[in-house]
Structure 1
Amino acid sequence: MSPVTMTGKGPEASYQERCGTSLKSRVQKARRHETRKSLLLVLPVIVFLVLAFLIPIAKMFQVSLYDPTLRDLLPATARALDGGAKDRIWKSLAHDLVAAREQGKIGVVASRLNEQRPGLRSVVERTARRAAATDEAPTREWFAGVDPMWDDAGVLPLLARATRPFTFDNYLSALDFRRDQQGHIVSQPADSRVYRSLYLKTFWVAIVVTLLCGVMGYPIAYLMATRSKATANRLMILVLVPFWTSMLVRVTAWMVMLQSQGVVNDLLVFAGVVNENNRVMLIYNLTGTLISMTHILLPFFILPLYSVMVAVPPSYMRAAQSLGAGRFSSFWKVYFPITLPGVGAGALLVLILALGYYITPALVGGQSGQMISNMIAFNIQTSLNWGLAAALSIVLLVAVLSLYFVYTRLVGAENLRMG
């Protein structure tokens, strides 16, 4: 029996197999070519994200955990503490303090140790001066003679923690915790708790601004989507012109309008709402922050919502009304559920932007209108505590990512359905 008969395949079947294999190979090659082409097209975006987003965040995370400043300024003390050589710790500390004073870095050492324990700044600077003027080998008793704080049992553990290059203390401070003299994690005193209340205030302001944008933005987007093209274009211009204007210009304009002799107070006096001697304080407080942030962030709510509304066919509402539903009932049960993805997208965008706002609270917020971003800027520009500023930023970033995760898992656009 021939091979063709045994296999059941003739020359025609073999030819079809070769053609199929060749076609499959060409399809796979074409797909690989398209994949490489797509990668080349998105490569600039990937490079931009890595350089402008991932690397700065990684650097910020490193700064929040890694701080070798004191280890570099007190090297002999760090080696003595690591090796457990208690007989050399005080002599090494005196040597390092004198060297730091000669280098002009004693202020940095004093400030860093003062962050660990308030009151050490003046003690460190006075000890460095005494150590530079003495010829005797400093001991613990000599340090205690300079200031009794050196005789405290918690000083050496404090020095050991301060000279470690890796530390979580910045995150403890960012959440209003600290280490006590025994090294245990405890809450800050009530009058020293700053950051937790600022985080809560920041979230409260962001939520209120998001709600205000929703209340004002939904009707505007609805008018733009349901009116004639000419009316929609005019409304779009009114939305986009402020959006294209510099944020600093808009904030400055609100500062002029909201001051006690500004336009808003003049209108209130003219309308008889308030009298001339009782003008409302609308600036340098939380009220000014809410007003200006709502105005600036309103387009970020309207535009995503409008893109969803304009795609809703008008026949849906007419069909509901033809089946007996009233205008409000057809809107609430038909139109509104369809637009929920736009509401969710706009609200999420406004909320995330509001959480990180800095310029507006700094200019019109005053003391009561400050948010966590202003404290981050203070630690970077004024107190120069970059580790704490990085820790505050990482905590805020984690909070924002958590919000996004909750949104995508619970109320994401793919999970919003008509009721």
Structure 2
Amino acid sequence: MPRRLGAFLLVAPLLAGLLLGFLGPIAGFLLRAVRDVEVAAALPATLRSLRDWDGGTVPDEAFAALATDLRAARLRDRATGAGILARAGARLNHAAPGLRSLLPATARRVAEPGEDRARILAAGAAWSSPATWAAIRAAGGPLTDLHLLAAFDLRRGVAGIEAVPAEARLYRQVVLRTVAIGASVTLACLLLGYPLAWLIATAPPRAAPWMLGAVLLPFWTSLVVRSAAWMVLLQREGVVNATLLRAGLVEAPLPLLFNRFAVLVAMVHILLPFMVLPILAALREIDPRLPRAAASLGAGPVRVFRRVVLPLSLPGVGAGCLLVLVQALGFYVTPALLGGPEDQMLAWFIGFNASRTVNWSMAAALSLVLLAAIALLVGLYGRLVGFQRVAPA
């Protein structure tokens, strides 16, 4: 027991640093996908007044509470610069477009002396609609499924959960595109990586290290640099088009850049080593006497490979496919540099919501979708292949 306690105390600072510096911020970010506290922080009295509202008419009793909340939030924003009204307006704008600007405009009106209800109604026609008040009550939190539903192009309607209009659908297509690109890259890496791994595994001892070094060489270069290099190679005046033109294979430069082809080529180039290395490790673990024994019993090369080599190398194949697919699903830089608008993957939209629209809740919801997909893949791999089959002895 003292030894265990001493060992725990030795690693306790590392665990604390990992928890506070890595897992804590990630958990806090992902929690934004379901947290809904912006409106409650800005309009607490309004939400209390709407608790027993029937939802059919404009709630007359809520106007005074709204005016009180807006004045208090405006004073806090002036004193601390916290942006309480701005965050509440941004949250409400998803359900009732226009409230992002209407909320601070109404706060300026009720700051002047006068009758609260008349000044609020004069600020905008939206205050005379029950839908606006329903949106405020629905955003009262503290938890919401708004962003998680939006990640699947769903929303809560009068009759329950429903699909958004066809012209507003986006993320289902993005998720399917991400899976399709990831699966295509994984299949291409497998078709290219297995023969390469077999060549290295069966190469003479002097040649094998050089071949393995050639596979590892791309790791010495930044991913951004490798992606930018493909931009130089695939552009209209690049090396590939120039070679094709000189060889007479084409009459005009081909559109090889800013499309799905460029994305797939660059991703396969970047991720191929992650397929080769696990398969190579699995092939080197095969007892060389087994293929020779099968050949001595009359099996041809194809049958030896199909009945002996391939089954014994499947753990490496599974590990390589998992490594490549998990990384491909989260690719951001390469599709952003080499792809067109229809080639951007889920990671690009996470970055777009986080940096362009500053919608951290939507970015967190999309991150949860990506994390769930990766967890599903890892769990499926554990059931089909098993982690103990690729663990070192």
- Structure 1 length-normalised TM: 0.82
Q: Cα deviation per residue 1:387-419 (whole Å; 9 max; x = unaligned)?
A: 111111111111111111111112336589xxx
1:97 to partner: Cα distance: 3.7
Q: Counterparts in 2 of 1:32-111, with a 5 A limit?
A: 46-47=15-16, 50-51=19-20, 54-82=23-51, 86-98=59-71, 100=73, 103=77, 105=83, 106-111=85-90
Equivalent of 2:226 in 238, 241, 250 = 250
Distance 1:240 1:44 in 2: 34
1:159 aligns with 2:136: yes
Q: Give the residue type in structure 2 aligned to 1:241.
A: L
Distance 1:43 1:130 in 2: 56
1:283 to partner: Cα distance: 1.8
Q: Counterparts in 2 of 1:182-261, with a 5 A limit?
A: 182=158, 184-261=160-237
Q: Cα deviation per residue 1:107-157 (whole Å; 9 max; x = unaligned)?
A: 433322111123434544554454445622215xx6555544333232222
Residue number in structure 2 paired with 1:23:
none
Deviates more, 1:87-96 or 1:191-200: 87-96
1:374 aligns with 2:348: yes
1:355 aligns with 2:324: no
1:202 to partner: Cα distance: 0.5
Q: Percent identity?
A: 42
Q: Is the 8 A contact 2:110 2:120 kept in 1?
A: no
- Structure 2 length-normalised TM: 0.87
SS of the residue 1:230 aligns to: coil
1:81 to partner: Cα distance: 2.8
Distance 1:240 1:52, change over 3 A: farther
Which ranges of structure 1 fall in alignment gaps of 5 or more residues? 1-31
Equivalent of 1:302 in 273, 276, 285 = 276
Residue number in structure 2 paired with 1:313:
287
Q: Cα deviation per residue 1:175-203 (whole Å; 9 max; x = unaligned)?
A: 111233x3732211111111111111101
Distance 2:11 2:314 in 1: 31
Distance 2:42 2:156 in 1: 22
1:355 to partner: Cα distance: 0.8
Distance 1:311 1:204, change over 3 A: same
Q: Is the 8 A contact 2:200 2:212 kept in 1?
A: yes
Distance 1:183 1:169, change over 3 A: farther
Distance 1:157 1:299 in 2: 54
Query: Once superposed, what is the RMSD of the aligned Cα atoms?
Result: 2.7
Deviates more, 1:256-265 or 1:34-43: 34-43
Residue number in structure 2 paired with 1:408:
382
Q: Is the 8 A contact 1:357 1:373 kept in 2?
A: yes
Residue number in structure 2 paired with 1:112:
91
1:362 to partner: Cα distance: 1.6
Q: Is the 8 A contact 2:274 2:324 kept in 1?
A: yes
1:149 aligns with 2:122: no
Q: Cα deviation per residue 1:159-187 (whole Å; 9 max; x = unaligned)?
A: 0122323212111111111233x373221
Q: Is the 8 A contact 1:285 1:369 kept in 2?
A: yes
Distance 1:161 1:214 in 2: 49
Which one has a bigger Cα radius of gyration? Answer: 1
Q: Is the 8 A contact 1:379 1:388 kept in 2?
A: yes
Which ranges of structure 2 fall in alignment gaps of 5 or more residues? none
Residue number in structure 1 paired with 2:156:
179
Q: Give the residue type in structure 1 aligned to 2:289.
A: S
Distance 2:219 2:374 in 1: 24
